[in-house]
Structure 1
Amino acid sequence: MSAIEHVSDQDVMCQRCKEAKAILKARSEFHCKQCYLRLVRGKQRKQMSAEKYKINYRKSSSGELEKVLVAVSGGVSSLVLLDVLGNLLLEQKQTHRGLQGFEIVVVNLDERELNSLNADVSSSLEMILPRFEPVKISFKTISLDSYVDLSSLNEISIENDFSTLANPVDVQSCTFIDLLNKCQNKSSAEDLLTIVCEKLLLKAAYEEGCGTIVYGHTMTRTANEVIALTVKGRGSSIHKSISNRTEMFKDKEIDIIYPLRDLLFAEIDEYAKLSDLKRFVVESEVVKSRVSKNLTIRDLVGNYFSNLDATGYSSTASTVMKIGQKLGSPELKIQTSCKLCGVNIYQDPKGWLKTITVNDPAPIQTDEEKEYLEMYLSATHQSPNQAINGDKIDLCYGCITTLNGIRANEGFVWPIEPDLNLSYSRESTEVEKQQVLDEFVLTDTEE
């Protein structure tokens, strides 16, 4: 049975309000449009039930409201999350004499050039935000080039014994896309992009004074992350990557919350249709390959869950997510942290890799084998006694897996613990919007 079933029988009544005609069946109940919208909005309120998100007359009057950063990619889930939060603040203003429980700062990471998006997310936001007036919501678009700190760029290589080396490079100019194009495959690029996005959003929250970051991840997306992180060798970080948690950035604690985690993607997609949000969705124009080996790990797992939903096994996502939630942090003592992604390292990954792999070639025994080796090294511009330069750095098992196959002199360059300096490619506030509107206001002397 699919997660959402549309009702064609006009005589079926909503089981919640018992007044309007039901239009769909979800979670074994018939719902009318308004009751279904309230069902989805109620899931968000359950996840954000802390006092700091509720009406506080003292804080509201003194301007000390909690600031919530909403990560918006332009996809269905993030737009639904923005709509749910906007309607909550609108309801608070209407029932509490113009007061609201928290403020929203919408942040979009500019992926238009990277993913060949069919529209500008800023344009979609400009059309959506007026829905929530008089609630004031500002949005900012951050360039991914903000992650490129030229002074932190290093050429990274991995030796045969899985030691990781970093050699500083002198680069006068470089874009984030230039760096990402050096990745071995699409899954590696996707993994590094995820790390970059999380760090940039934490930095943005810190600069904007936000105590909370909310993501639009659904139950389906969370289950996808559990499997994808396992495949990518990041099992030790599953417990923190899928659960509501608190991150420390510099001297500030920032809560990370997934308000839609109790809802399947099919349920979110239905909400978007009923709320007329589908026309604002921004999608990539890159046609995904039908060949599995050309897809990223997340794409493969996403297709898996889509097929489960289509065949009536959508509850599998819930099972996977619940299993992932039972995981905790390793009980071992923290040795160090990864210089690439920042996760804690509990056990030296080199020792583990040496026990499960054979990375050294068989010894050369014949002249013919020696001749072939020399031909190979000549073709790859290597020397059999070539030493790899650089300082040893600590990388976690997941990052070593991501950089699998990288060797010296192949040109893979990446920032090591960069000093982030956010670059805003687009910034809109209520003041800016009013200035634009004033330009179109005709005076008594104009026709």
Structure 2
Amino acid sequence: MKAIEYLSTEEVCQKCKKNQTILKARNELYCKDCFLRLIRGKQRKQMSDEKYKINYKKTTSEKVLLAFSGGVSSLVLLDVLANLIVEQIEAHNGLRGFDLVIVNLNEYEYKSLSARIETILPELLKRYNVDIQVKILSLDSYVNKKNLYAISLDHEFTIFANSIQADTTMMNLLESCANKSSAEDLLSILLDQLLLKVAVEEKCNTVVYAHSMTRIANEIIALTVKGRGSTIHKSISDRKEIYEGKEINIIYPLRDVLFDEIVEYAKLSELQNYIVDSTISKSRVSKNLTIKDLVSNYFTNLNQTGYASTASTVMKIGQKLTSPQSNELKIICKICGSEIYHDPKTWLKTITVNDPAPIATEEEEEYVKMYFSNKDQKHKFDGENIDLCYGCITTLNGTNDFVWPIQPSINLKYDNSTSKIIDEFVLTDNEED
């Protein structure tokens, strides 16, 4: 059965028993108001902790950081959270359960977005008569030339790193990746680490992602394909992260909502004009798509054929996974920061052929001489040996002297000019309509 079915019936909503039904979701008939209430209720269930509720004894509010990309999911989560704050303020004489900080990683140039976030947020935030802080974060916050290294892999999968001094941008580093999937993988790594850094700086105890149930199922399969199966348990679950000695809660408030339901919420709430998408057309050739694109297409096809519940099944299986158990010494990957439970080089040597076939003819010997006489084919492997997880080795494989920050000391760079523009449009709790 499809996630959403549109109806042209005069039947009344099964929830309120008053309004006319407009759609069928999860085998129940809903009017507009009840469907919106359904989606908002899913978020409130995931954030039912007392620290997000009104407490007259509290002197300060909990600060919640929202990872905002401008896509439909983060847009809907912003609307849901903002409306919750509005309800709290109206019902409790101006008091609110939590403060909201929107953080956007500026990907306008890299992804050729349809609009800049700072152009859509002012009008969007005017819909809510509440104070919401906005931070536009530069990609280059992750680039520190003191921590840049040229990383190489030899035929036995030993990783070498040489410290270099170079003035470059994160966009240049991502564009030098071996393929789109590698760039996408590395971008997700730096996004997670930057958000944790911002959370510490802004004193936010909670970070919320707008991942839907479909997106989480997508992540489970994509992480498996990319060789990051050991991180699935912590990449899809509500959890606590320790960053710079501070404990931060990671929550997915829309984890029980299918992507099609999020899209329908955006339509009914008239949010479509605020959606920001990449204008880069995706190839129709599968080999030119990223891993996430391929998996996303898979779930889209399942929904169109009436198997939307597959996403729920995949997510439930993923939630049963736990941290790998190993007696070996746990080592930290220098790129993604995840724990290495087993030596990936041992595994790679087992499943791959590392030595060339013996030379059998004079013709083959001539070809070998020609190969090594070509200077472009020579590559000397030296430098400091570093530890990388299997997923990062797979991501960097196929590149020589790939440049990337290793355990960078993050220096957050905000676009102050855009923040000023947004602040002019944001209504605070003390301002009137």
Aligned residue number for residue 423 of structure 1: 413
Aligned residue number for residue 139 of structure 2: 144
Question: How far apart, CA to CA, are the structure 1 residues paired with 2:297 and 2:425?
Answer: 44
- Is residue 385 of structure 2 the alignment partner of residue 392 of structure 1? yes
Aligned residue number for residue 234 of structure 1: 228
Tell me if the contact between 2:156 and 2:354 (Cα under 8 Å) persists in the aligned partners.
yes
Deviation track 1:355-380 (CA, whole Å, cap 9, x = no partner) reads 11112222334332222123223345
Tell me if the contact between 1:184 and 1:403 (Cα under 8 Å) persists in the aligned partners.
yes
Aligned residue number for residue 82 of structure 2: 86
Deviation track 1:346-397 (CA, whole Å, cap 9, x = no partner) reads 11111111111112222334332222123223345244xx641110000001
Aligned residue number for residue 375 of structure 1: 370
Structure 1's 208 and 36: CA in aligned 2 closer, same or farther, altered over 3 A? Answer: same
State which of 406, 412, 427 in structure 1 corresponds to 2:402: 412
CA drift at 1:128: 1.1
CA drift at 1:435: 10
Aligned length: 426
- Is residue 103 of structure 2 the alignment partner of residue 107 of structure 1? yes
One-letter amino acid matched to 1:363: P
Question: How far apart, CA to CA, are the structure 1 residues paired with 2:426 and 2:75?
Answer: 26
Aligned residue number for residue 243 of structure 1: 237
SS in structure 1 of the partner of residue 136 of structure 2: strand
SS in structure 2 of the partner of residue 155 of structure 1: strand
Q: What TM-score does the superposition give when structure 1 sets the normalisation length?
A: 0.92
Aligned residue number for residue 443 of structure 1: none
Question: How far apart, CA to CA, are the structure 2 residues paired with 1:299 and 1:185?
Answer: 13
Aligned residue number for residue 431 of structure 2: none
Aligned residue number for residue 2 of structure 1: 2
Q: RMSD in angstroms over aligned alpha carbons?
A: 1.7
Question: How far apart, CA to CA, are the structure 2 residues paired with 1:116 and 1:256?
Answer: 29
Question: How far apart, CA to CA, are the structure 2 residues paired with 1:374 and 1:87?
Answer: 70
- Is residue 339 of structure 2 the alignment partner of residue 344 of structure 1? yes
CA drift at 1:276: 0.5
Deviation track 1:154-196 (CA, whole Å, cap 9, x = no partner) reads 000111111111011121x101011111111111111001101
One-letter amino acid matched to 1:36: F
The share of aligned pairs that are identical, in percent, is 60
Equivalent residue runs for 1:174-193 within 5 Å: 174-193=168-187
Structure 1's 152 and 309: CA in aligned 2 closer, same or farther, altered over 3 A? Answer: same
SS in structure 1 of the partner of residue 364 of structure 2: helix
Equivalent residue runs for 1:238-387 within 5 Å: 238-333=232-327, 334-379=329-374, 381-383=376-378, 387=380
SS in structure 1 of the partner of residue 342 of structure 2: coil
Question: How far apart, CA to CA, are the structure 2 residues paired with 1:35 and 1:232?
Answer: 40
CA drift at 1:277: 0.5
Question: How far apart, CA to CA, are the structure 1 residues paired with 2:344 and 2:288?
Answer: 28
Question: How far apart, CA to CA, are the structure 2 residues paired with 1:129 and 1:431?
Answer: 9
One-letter amino acid matched to 1:18: K
- Is residue 54 of structure 2 the alignment partner of residue 39 of structure 1? no
SS in structure 2 of the partner of residue 132 of structure 1: coil
Question: How far apart, CA to CA, are the structure 1 residues paired with 2:426 and 2:62?
Answer: 27
Q: Which moved more, 1:365-374 or 1:23-32?
A: 365-374
Question: How far apart, CA to CA, are the structure 2 residues paired with 1:227 and 1:303?
Answer: 12
SS in structure 2 of the partner of residue 323 of structure 1: helix
Structure 1's 432 and 145: CA in aligned 2 closer, same or farther, altered over 3 A? Answer: same
Question: How far apart, CA to CA, are the structure 2 residues paired with 1:121 and 1:114?
Answer: 14
SS in structure 1 of the partner of residue 41 of structure 2: helix
Structure 1's 435 and 45: CA in aligned 2 closer, same or farther, altered over 3 A? Answer: closer
Tell me if the contact between 2:144 and 2:409 (Cα under 8 Å) persists in the aligned partners.
yes
CA drift at 1:429: 6.7
Unaligned runs of 5+ in 1: 438-447
Tell me if the contact between 1:116 and 1:284 (Cα under 8 Å) persists in the aligned partners.
yes
Deviation track 1:72-99 (CA, whole Å, cap 9, x = no partner) reads 1000000000000000000000111110
Structure 1's 335 and 275: CA in aligned 2 closer, same or farther, altered over 3 A? Answer: same
Question: How far apart, CA to CA, are the structure 2 residues paired with 1:157 and 1:365?
Answer: 31
Question: How far apart, CA to CA, are the structure 2 residues paired with 1:184 and 1:25?
Answer: 45
Aligned residue number for residue 50 of structure 2: 51
Question: How far apart, CA to CA, are the structure 1 residues paired with 2:218 and 2:373?
Answer: 43
One-letter amino acid matched to 1:350: K
Structure 1's 29 and 298: CA in aligned 2 closer, same or farther, altered over 3 A? Answer: same
Tell me if the contact between 2:122 and 2:426 (Cα under 8 Å) persists in the aligned partners.
no
Question: How far apart, CA to CA, are the structure 1 residues paired with 2:191 and 2:423?
Answer: 26
CA drift at 1:140: 0.8
